[in-house]
Structure 1
């Protein structure tokens, strides 16, 4: 299958990674308009439900993220 991801943000990159893991024969291209290592000050927040889904589909990456990120339970709105 030929897959083109428009945007190399967290969702596009992770989708490409999961699809390639699912079937290494997939031909995947990620198109990004910005230069490598450009950052714009955003962060990524994963809920407990997101981490549970990630563990289901990609336990290796989920474990790496779990070890590297900051976790807090108290959230005040």
Structure 2
């Protein structure tokens, strides 16, 4: 039993799931222009779609990184 493999998987899986849910959330915001609820100091909301696009890029990148690490982990275990 490879404990290291199990531990790494235990750590990455929830992170990956979070990244995946954030990607779908921000994709919806970009598509439908919903309010993200980012409060600025003046109390007004930021340019929602613009913010969501940058956030989406960030989470997509993170998701790819986690996916690669999970797959790499699977390959190493075999």
Q: TM-score of the superposition, structure 2-length normalised?
A: 0.25
Larger radius of gyration: 2
More strand by share: 1
Greater relative contact order: 1 or 2 (C-alpha under 8 angstroms, separation 6 or more)? 2
More helix by share: 2
Q: TM-score of the superposition, structure 1-length normalised?
A: 0.25
